[in-house]
Homo-oligomer: A and B are copies of this chain.
Amino acid sequence: MKNIIIASTSTIHGSGYLEYILDELKSFFKHTDDILFIPFARPGGISHDEYTKKANEAFSKIGKKARGIHEFENPIEALKNAKGIFTGGGNTFVLVTQLYKFNLIEPLKDVIQNGTPYLGTSAGSNICGLTINTTNDMPIVYPPSFKTLGLVPFNINPHYLDPEPNSKHMGETRETRIQEFHAFNSPPVVGLREGSWLQVKDESIVLKGSLSARIFEYNKSPYEVESNTELNTLK
């Protein structure tokens, strides 16, 4: 029984950390006030302690307390005992490298598949897909593998960004990048705009938030799906 929120971002423009989704999280984590926080993605290079403090500032608004997994002597036991887990954004390569270093990939997958509610934002969402081949992050460290949790049968592209028609920059658009991914890989990619999330309940995967998402399937033209669309047929 999976119970997962895969969110494009932690923060939308003009709003505080997790603020846009706090009401949802209050109900999502209704069975526990203690959240195990995975701070490994270290946005801006901040420390695990600083990042945990930031998560706590948001969670305290809904009466929850986050404790960083780095505070536990045995992180695998911490995962097994957790009643709710949150992995924050930052750098996906750093996050994945740490998860492999502490042998946490399989235990994390196991507890989520067994029903522990899991919230990911940005990098924490990327790892819910098959691989990090469609992250937007800079590869600042070399992880032992790009394979991740595979909790959904496709890849995530968080912070999905439409091409800017007036841009004079010649770097690739997001759409071009994902199409290049499909020159070498066949899994679908879900481009999640900021403010959108996927609500995964067992085998159901539903797009939430007010925006549409952009879907990229191998050998097909990209297309939009509206909020509340069921995406469990994508594979």
Contact = CB atoms under 8 A, between A and B. Distances in A.
Given A169-B159, A170-B9, A91 B140 contact: no
A171 B45 contact: no
Nearest to A93: B139
Interface string A124-151: 0000000011111111111001100000
- Secondary structure at the A interface, as helix, strand, loop or mixed, is loop
Interface stretch (A31-39, A64-72, A77-85, A182-190): A182-190
A140 B136 contact: no
Interface string A180-200: 111111000000001000000
Contacts of A93: 139
A177 B45 contact: no
B194 A169 contact: yes
Copies of this chain held together in the complex = 2
Given A140-B184, A179-B44, A161 B171 contact: yes
Given A159-B171, A170-B194, A171-B159, A133 B137 contact: no
B170 A161 contact: no
Interface string A73-100: 0000000000000000011011000000
B140 A181 contact: yes
A123 to B, nearest CB: 11
- Nearest 6 pairs of A and B residues by beta carbon: A45-B183, A13-B168, A138-B177, A159-B171, A140-B181, A142-B146
